[in-house]
Structure 1
């Protein structure tokens, strides 16, 4: 199978996850780039950030048109995590790769359990705990995101469900705002690395991901919130199992 076909197929899956579930794009994009398309891990991380920034922004606009984004909550969640993310990134450089991989899997598994146990408050629903809780959750999210090196959507969704108390569909739209801002901030520190990317792979991957995100948004509007939560949680559990296994080998 040609690299172009693989890039288009992988991009469609990544976009579908981001558009429908508000996260999982970086978690899926990095291994797809490495194992399917033969991209070096460092370049895959940079390429993933580009793909996730553009795709999340496209998905965010689609959700925003339907009023499915809590702008203040998402901005506060992202802003509170900027400094912890930077500190987490500095710490990550001194940790063994196997430890980071195992930690990634454990956190993804814990997030999956949180999603499965989360209720679905009725729209519009009050923000639970107020700005202090949101900022605290954002700081913790930023720290974990910095250490693990992902956009953070797979953690932002359960955070918005459990700590903030948003309904699933609003959590998805708001998580896309957090992912866009977090990934853009991380990408600015890797600007020089973008010049060496294989754009024959990155461009079609990104284009397919954007189309997938729009399809994911339509899917989210047709599927019950409880079903979306289960899909997202099972996706996280699968990633968690693979990452823990990889870290143990």
Structure 2
């Protein structure tokens, strides 16, 4: 199946793997290899983002799997949990060697967010694929806004004495919001750990990777019962992403990353606009409106976070 000529975008077009069907064409090795190499190159950005910023993996992985590899949106979300989880695990070990992982706090947050991720990813079967993509675009815009605003001042508020109940509730909410769209949630987890656990940025990045790895495993379990995983696509993208983690982790120790965060935020906005233009439809928009409880939770959570920052 892997890199075999046949129907589908480049993987052989096996329907259970979620590839979008296409006409069978003999002798497609050259475009297949070109697409595979492009995918491998672009996937290094996933690891670079996770290693440097502790997040952004799924925001790059999902568009790559859907628009470059050619998977259906739901299969792309499910497959992204494999890629992001595996890559985050490797990046976490690199940060752990530098003492930037808070295991107890990370475990509390991870366990509670895994519960939320499993519940929400299991419910994804009833949501239109276009609606999921629009939700994902909304998360990208929210993450970009948070990065544009900046978190420099938060690093001064260091206590590292979180309240387990508060941290656990935050974990459930973050897990539920990100699990539905297959997102690792690093750009939500990192500021949450800084706000609610009093962590410094470097520790929050490393601990975020622990949470992402465990929560992605829970999200994968939730998807496994109703959505197929494109394992060959996951393997190829993961190989490239893992190579990128080494550069990202190295840069995290050498650079402040402030300008990189804002540049990455601009890229997120551009990608979100692209997703909205491609996926917007009456059915998808009605699906987003129907999820008004989700927006209410986001509004309340944002208000609480803003109050704590003051």
The alignment's TM-score, normalised by the length of structure 2, stands at 0.70
Find the counterpart in structure 2 of residue 169 from structure 1.
202
In the alignment, the residues of structure 2 paired with residue 150 and residue 238 of structure 1 have an alpha-carbon distance, to the nearest angstrom, of 18
> How much does 1:30 deviate?
1.6
In the alignment, the residues of structure 1 paired with residue 220 and residue 119 of structure 2 have an alpha-carbon distance, to the nearest angstrom, of 16
> How much does 1:210 deviate?
0.7
Please point out which of 206, 209, 216 is paired with 2:248. 216
Q: 1:118 to 1:132 in 2, by over 3 A?
A: farther
Matched, 1:131 2:164: yes
Max Rg structure: 2
> How much does 1:54 deviate?
1.6
Q: Secondary structure at the match of 1:224?
A: coil
Find the counterpart in structure 1 of residue 193 from structure 2.
160
Matched residues, number: 248
> How much does 1:124 deviate?
9.8
In the alignment, the residues of structure 2 paired with residue 247 and residue 64 of structure 1 have an alpha-carbon distance, to the nearest angstrom, of 39
Please point out which of 200, 216, 221 is paired with 1:188. 221
In the alignment, the residues of structure 2 paired with residue 180 and residue 109 of structure 1 have an alpha-carbon distance, to the nearest angstrom, of 23
Matched, 1:106 2:145: no
In the alignment, the residues of structure 1 paired with residue 40 and residue 76 of structure 2 have an alpha-carbon distance, to the nearest angstrom, of 16
Matched, 1:8 2:43: no
Q: Secondary structure at the match of 2:126?
A: coil
Q: Which is bigger in relative contact order (C-alpha 8 A, separation at least 6)? A: 1
Range with bigger deviation, 154-163 or 142-151: 154-163
Matched, 1:77 2:104: no
In the alignment, the residues of structure 1 paired with residue 163 and residue 257 of structure 2 have an alpha-carbon distance, to the nearest angstrom, of 24
Q: Secondary structure at the match of 1:93?
A: helix
Per residue, is there more helix in 1 or in 2? 1
In the alignment, the residues of structure 2 paired with residue 13 and residue 148 of structure 1 have an alpha-carbon distance, to the nearest angstrom, of 20
Contact 1:133-1:164 within 8 A present in 2 as well: no
Contact 1:15-1:210 within 8 A present in 2 as well: yes
In the alignment, the residues of structure 1 paired with residue 228 and residue 136 of structure 2 have an alpha-carbon distance, to the nearest angstrom, of 28
In the alignment, the residues of structure 2 paired with residue 248 and residue 232 of structure 1 have an alpha-carbon distance, to the nearest angstrom, of 24
Matched, 1:146 2:179: yes
Contact 2:155-2:201 within 8 A present in 1 as well: no
Q: 1:106 to 1:79 in 2, by over 3 A?
A: same
The Cα offsets for residues 85-115 of structure 1, whole Å up to 9 and x where unpaired, read as 2332344333344443333333332233334
Matched, 1:119 2:152: yes
Q: 1:73 to 1:57 in 2, by over 3 A?
A: same
Matched, 1:55 2:55: no
Contact 1:6-1:37 within 8 A present in 2 as well: no
Find the counterpart in structure 1 of residue 57 from structure 2.
25
Which runs of structure 2 are paired with 1:191-210 in the superposition (5 Å)? 191=224, 197=230, 199=232, 201-210=233-242
Range with bigger deviation, 149-158 or 133-142: 149-158
Q: Which blocks of at least 5 consecutive residues in structure 1 are unaligned?
A: none
The alignment's TM-score, normalised by the length of structure 1, stands at 0.85
In the alignment, the residues of structure 1 paired with residue 37 and residue 68 of structure 2 have an alpha-carbon distance, to the nearest angstrom, of 11
